[in-house]
Amino acid sequence: EEIEKGGYEHFMLKEIMEQPHSVADAMRGRVHPQEGQIRLGGLQKVLPQLVEAERIVICACGTSWHAGLAGEYLIEALARVPVEVEYASEFRYRNPVLTERDVVIVISQSGETADTLAAVRQAQGAGCLAVGLVNAVGSTIARETDAGVYLHAGPEIGVASTKAFTAQVAVLAQIALLLGAERGVLSQDEVRRHAEALAAIPAQIQTVLDGEEQIRRMARDYRYASNFLYLGRGANFPVALEGALKLKEISYIHAEGYPAAEMKHGPIALIDQFMPVVFIATRDATYEKVVSNIEEVAARGGTVIAITDEGNRDLDALAEYVVEVPKTIDALEPLLTVIPLQLLSYHIAVMRGADVDQPRNLAKSVTVE
């Protein structure tokens, strides 16, 4: 086991640190910036059906569901296809309205999650094409779906999913670009620009990982908090959910993720100096709005941690910590902004003496309902 951990104290840390490579692997042979092209061999035979889809329904559980939400943003923004994201467990029992023009995409690291597998069967029963984004090669979901794209993230051992999430988002970005190109929504030039941005992500993730020391200091400051709030908008809303999930899974600190603007409909009542509020506030379309939410929290004596993009000094006076990530295009931000949140939950859990790789009551793969 020590050898498998590659010198790291935990699998989770190893898997966080591997992300420049795992994300590159999820794109290898698929993203061709020079030609302005995305090639996904596993989707070739169903491409016409996918391109013609009237609607895409994404089903998944846990972290994979969060990746699905990031995928909704990507596919709607880049390919203009309507997307619904469903918890597989809800989808299977809700008698969902499906037509043969819908395509169901399921996302699963393990390829064995019982509810997600049931969603595949339900989709196929309704005559829909079922596409799988799966990490584990040869797993049940990989075998039962009609077509799919492997994540190629390599084995993920830590119960809290990290590198599978970024690989899932990277593959969803590729699907969004492919559909955007095929549907004529994106020009060749736009595809090229996005493919270049995607190809730059692995090195940018490395830059974020190189800032680990700051996150460790932050973890030391906030490790005794009993509640955390994570807020983000647009592409970074799923990152807020994922940041909160990572923290509760392995450190057992209660955490909630919310769309930043919804704060005033509830969570604002909880603000005090004891609850760190993590804002994902990159300078994208809703940045100004998020800054006013930050001001509201600061005005109520709340403790603000901000994740923003490189060179942004606006938040220095409002936040106790400002973590910078490199600039990318809006829809790809989750690939970078999630990294400091993974590291924060990891370091807090370690400092609290929690069993990071085997958190209590959780399983890596949930093969029962």
String marking each residue 69-108 x if it binds ligand G6P according to CB under 6 A: ---------------------------------------x
* Closer CB to ligand G6P, 158 or 180, in the complex: 158
Q: Which residue is nearest to ligand G6P (CB)?
A: 62
- The 10 Å Cβ neighbour count of residue 274 is 14
Task: Report in angstroms how near the CB of residue 333 gets to ligand G6P at its nearest.
Answer: 20
- The Cα–Cα gap between 74 and 37 comes to 17
- 105/263 with CB nearer ligand G6P: 105
364 is catalytic: yes
Which residues, listed in sequence order, are joined to residue 84 by a DSSP beta bridge?
A: 57
CB 86 within 8 A of CB 58: yes
Question: 152 with 25: CB under 8 angstroms?
Answer: yes
C-alpha span between 364 and 354 (Å, rounded): 17
- What is the smallest separation between the CB atom of 171 and ligand G6P, expressed in angstroms? 13
Amino acid at 271: I
The CB-of-166 to ligand G6P minimum distance in angstroms stands at: 13
DSSP 211: T
For ligand G6P, which residue of 19, 22, 116, 345 counts as binding (CB under 6 A)?
116
Q: Which is nearer to ligand G6P, 171 or 304 (CB)?
A: 171
Q: Is 110 in the site for ligand G6P (CB under 6 A)?
A: yes
Q: How far is the CB of 246 from ligand G6P (least distance, A)?
A: 9
Report helix, strand or coil for 134: strand
122 binds ligand G6P, rule: CB under 6 A: no
CB 268 within 8 A of CB 229: no
- CA 319 vs CA 1, 297, 298, 301, 350: distances in Å: 40, 10, 8, 11, 24
Which of 19, 161, 236, 328 touches ligand G6P (CB under 6 A)? 161
Q: Give residues in contact with ligand G6P (CB under 6 A).
A: 61-64, 108-110, 113, 116, 159-161, 362, 364-366
Return the active site residues. Answer: 364
